[in-house]
Amino acid sequence: MRGWIPGPRLAALVQRIQRHAALWALRRAGVLPIQVPTDSGRSALPVRGTVDWPKQGASVPRGIVMIRGWAASRHEAARRVVVTVDGQVQASARVGRPRVDVSAHLRDPLLLDSGFDAAVDLSDWPRDRAQITVAAQGGDDREFAVIADFALRLQGTARCPSRGWLGCRRSGPS
């Protein structure tokens, strides 16, 4: 059959497209700079990393959600990590957190401080699902890479903010 893509290859292709779409959405919003080539004309090695907690599809209570993980470029920890929720920047993570496990696994002592954590307030998030994107900037200050893009289910009901959401129903007199 012409044009048919086997299941695992299709899943990998879809995931790759989603990551690129999330990264370009951040760039269009002006949060991330457009990739700038290095002096040699080629981009530096991309940032790699992962989010350790929460995991894809996790169900978390509404409120402050801690996002933890690690990010590094070739031999140094990421300089900046940004967390977005449904395309809106919600937090800049604290970087430089100790990660002995990453350093040992990758056999690189320069990655001892490759951890990050970010506190994201989802107590007023209007929907029961939130799409989280984590992008990290490498040590060369030129390139961001999406290291995680996943969905969370939020438990409980959202509070109406003081300014109100369009369609937010309040109890009691208005």
CATH code of residue 74: 2.60.40.650
Domain for residue 18, yes or no? yes
Count of structural domains within the chain: 1
Domain that residue 56 falls in = 7-34+45-155
| pLDDT computed for residue 41 by the predictor | 37
Domain for residue 40, yes or no? no
For residues 93-108, average pLDDT: 91
Residue 29 in this model has a pLDDT that exceeds 70: no
Higher model confidence: residue 164 or residue 19? 19
Higher model confidence: residue 173 or residue 148? 148
Q: Would you say 102 and 70 are in contact if contact means Cβ atoms under 8 Å apart?
A: yes
Residue 132 in this model has a pLDDT that exceeds 60: yes
Domain for residue 2, yes or no? no
pLDDT 10s digits, 59-76:
999 999 999 999 998 788
For residues 141-156, average pLDDT: 84
The whole-chain average pLDDT of the chain stands at: 76
Domain for residue 55, yes or no? yes
Domain for residue 150, yes or no? yes
| pLDDT computed for residue 161 by the predictor | 59
Domain for residue 50, yes or no? yes
Domain for residue 141, yes or no? yes
Domain for residue 169, yes or no? no
